Amino acid sequence: MKGYAGKITRVNLTSGQVLEEPLEEPFARKYLGGNGFAARGLIDTVPPGADPLGPDNAFIVCAGPLTGTLAHGSGRAGIVTRSPLTGFFMDSYFGGEFGARLKQSGRDMIVVTGRSPEPVVLFCDGDQVRILSAGKLWGKTTRRTQDLLREELGPGLSTVCCGPAGEAQVPLACCIGGRRAAGRGGTGAVMGSKNLKAICVRGFGDIRVADMKGLLRFYRETKGRFLGLENLVKLGTPFLVDMINKAGGLGTRNWQEETWEGAELIRAERILQDHFVRNWGCFACNLGGCTRVVRTTQRPGVLTEGPEYETLFALGSNCGVNDLNAIIEADRLCDDYGIDTISFGGSVGFAMECFEKGLLTEKDTGGLEFRFGNAETLVRCVRLVAEREGFGDFLARGVRAMAAEIGGEALKFACHIKGLEPPGHSARALKCMGVGYAVSPRGGSHHDSRPAPEYQMDLAQRRSTEGKAAMAYDTATWSAVGDCLIVCRFCEPVYGGVLTQTHADLVNLTVGWDMTLEELTEVGCRVHTLERFFNCREGLRRRHETLPYRFMHEEIPSGTSKGFRTSPGELDRMLDEYYELRGWDPDGVPTRETLDRFGLSDLDLEALKVG
């Protein structure tokens, strides 16, 4: 079996025990890699009801069969765990080169359980696995941590770590690998809860593939398919600010509006003109790199990688902040402290609306003025959240927990789905995204069902719910496979925006199988169902699959998508359709037949009865 590294490493930090087992071919073919391996691993490892921040939760790092090869956009790795923010399944991916180095060290997946009595670093150095003291790294930023590790352990190191926010178990904390973030769902807090400061990998091994000649031909023939994405290379994801604002779906001031008068000031062309330093690309990015290193205009100025579209939305339009210097600085601070910019911006935006409506006062905020557009507050809050200092401790809990405590009117504008603050894709202006958020295993994430197809539609098509559940179904199956292979979403032009034979061909050339599109589609459905089962075991039912009150009851007040909302009735119909397509019962639980059909007969439906 080619393509894979061929080994899974299990580490229990409570006992210090390390187990390494070979990757078996039937398992690999059934679950494919990345997300699939980890979803199965999580279900088999984490007991139902385990505290996400307790020793029983697992922290999984994984790669896919294409990782480490030249396959377009395959330089990513995944982190999978039970989220402290949602309480449900969470998978979050990050670019850079960690995934390739993990594979070169000889591993497809590392499963960490338990809790170390003291701060440690897990070091997978070729065949060796060592648990090292992290005493002097504790409290350090993600960047300093990686610098110190490189000094100490030498060259060839690839690291993923948490920052001070993760150490403080802030549910908005992310993991940082290199300069890239596995942002969503509080993965950094899980690291912190295990007293695990970092995972380092080093390896110089080969990635062998089944048909090298065939693959090289494939790369050559498909390289040209990136033509048409010049904007993405030139401007990066920030080009979406303008596009989505014009479509009337740019969440503004905690989603009170979806068109923003300030968009002009933070659009991609301005970043290029005033802040651009250089382009940067992930390992094996055949697109030519969509990321930019930028700098604030003061000198010497603050450098950061990004800010990506989602950050420009979350820290920009969602907080009404139109000052690019402040956004760049806050983005860098979020990376250094290890905080998810989307959830952070969602939380600050929510607090700002509470403040403006008198539900929070300066007494609550420790004198900070939480008005929309206040860039200084935004920047100052990053450290406060990371260190849980003063009002930061309240912000650090995320929108759902803050709203529950404030209560009343605040619950109506608490924008989260299953506890996860949504990114900058509208659940009102895009109906597929609406139902997609509702059914997403992660909650408010645009990486299960996808927003991309709807941006191409005219207003009438966008307003309609017709076919949107099916679109949510197709794109979620596609993204499930994409996360098993762990390929970048921007490779849609090469592989297709839904599953295609190209995906299967690539797997076959790499691994040496004879997978059909049908078999690959089945893998996607199987993995999505696994995630579903995990969530159902934690009590997830239809009643949780809802949208924020604002998205269902308040119409978008202005702009291109004026009058749009996704009403409870529309959502209900789309949920019915979606569940039926998936083979789940009306309460959203997979049926016995569905589990059997996808080869998941061993999953015990009885275990779900308590939910």
Partner 1 sequence: MRYISFDPDRCVGCQACQLVCSAVWQGVFNPFKARLRVEQKDWYGVFEVSVCRQHRDAPCAEACPTGALYADEKRGLVAFDRKKCDGCGLCVEACPEKAIFTHGDEPWIFKCHLCGGGKIQQCVEACPRQALAVEEDMV
What is the contact surface with partner 1 in residues (CB under 8 A)? 68-70, 75, 97, 100, 104, 143, 156, 179, 204-209, 212, 215-216, 219-220, 223, 226, 277-289, 291, 293, 303, 305
337's tokens: 């402290």
Q: Is residue 372 helix, strand or coil?
A: coil
Least Å from the CB of residue 502 to partner 1: 19
Element (H, E) at 78: strand 77-82
Closer of 73 and 84 to partner 1 (Cβ): 73
At 398, list the tokens.
């995320």
The nearer residue to partner 1, 168 or 271, going by C-beta atoms, is 271
C-beta of 279: minimal distance to partner 1 in Å? 5
* Alpha carbon distance 169, 396 (integer Å): 9
Give the span between the Cα atoms of 40 and 50, in whole angstroms.
Answer: 16
Q: Which is nearer to partner 1, 93 or 313 (CB)?
A: 93
The rounded distance, in Å, linking the Cα atoms of 249 and 610 is 39
Burial class (CB in 10 A: 0-12, 13-18, 19+), 330: buried
Name the residue nearer to partner 1 (CB basis): 257 or 305.
305
Closest to partner 1 by CB, 224 vs 563, is 224
Choose between 257 and 335: whose C-beta lies nearer to partner 1: 335
Closest CB to partner 1 among residues 23, 459:
23
Least distance between partner 1 and beta carbon 326 (Å): 19
**Six-digit token string for 270:** 């301005």
Closest by alpha carbon to 568, among 560, 576, 559? 576
Minimum CB–partner distance for residue 488 and partner 1 (Å): 11
Give me the sheet containing 303-305, strands edge to edge: 276-280, 291-295, 303-305
Of 112 and 287, the one with the shorter C-beta distance to partner 1 is 287
Q: Would you state the structure tokens that stand for residue 330, as one six-digit string?
A: 């806050």
* Residue 210 beta carbon to partner 1: minimum distance, rounded to whole angstroms: 12
- DSSP 3-state of 301: coil
Structure-block tokens of residue 254: 């905690």
Q: Of 475, 478, 68, 71, which Cα lies nearest the Cα of 287?
A: 71
Residue 223 CB, nearest approach to partner 1 (Å): 7
Closest CA to 341 of 316, 372, 374: 316
- Give the residue with the Cβ less far from partner 1, 63 or 263: 63
SS3 for 466-515 is: CCHHHHHHHHHHHHHHHHHHCCCHHHHHHHCCCCCHHHHHHHHHHHCCCC
Q: Which is nearer to partner 1, 46 or 271 (CB)?
A: 271
For residues 134 and 144, give the distance between their C-alpha atoms in angstroms, rounded to a whole number: 13
CB of 209 to partner 1, least distance (A): 7
Closest approach of partner 1 to the CB of residue 291, in Å:
8
Count of beta carbons in the 10 Å neighbourhood of residue 289: 15
Rg (CA), the chain: 22
Task: Give dist(CA 425, CA 435) in Å, integer.
Answer: 12
The pairing of strands 120-125 and 109-113 is: unpaired
As given in the structure block, the two tokens for residue 293 are 């290193």
The CA-based diameter of the chain, rounded to the nearest angstrom, is 68
Beta carbon of residue 241, minimum distance to partner 1 (angstroms, whole number): 22
Token digits for 191?
């690291």
- For residue 125 the two structure tokens come to 């150095």
Question: In angstroms, what is the minimal distance from the CB of 283 to partner 1?
Answer: 6
Q: Which two tokens stand for residue 68?
A: 């480490």
Euclidean distance between CA atoms 340 and 330, whole angstroms? 11
Under a CB-based contact definition with an 8 Å cutoff, are residues 163 and 339 in contact? yes
CB atoms within 10 A of CB 462: 22
The minimum distance between CB 119 and partner 1, in angstroms, equals 24
Q: Which is nearer to partner 1, 54 or 281 (CB)?
A: 281
Sequence-separated (6 or more) residues with CB below 8 Å from residue 348: 315, 318, 319, 370, 377, 378, 381, 395
Residue closer to partner 1 (CB basis): 283 or 551: 283
Length of the chain measured in residues: 611
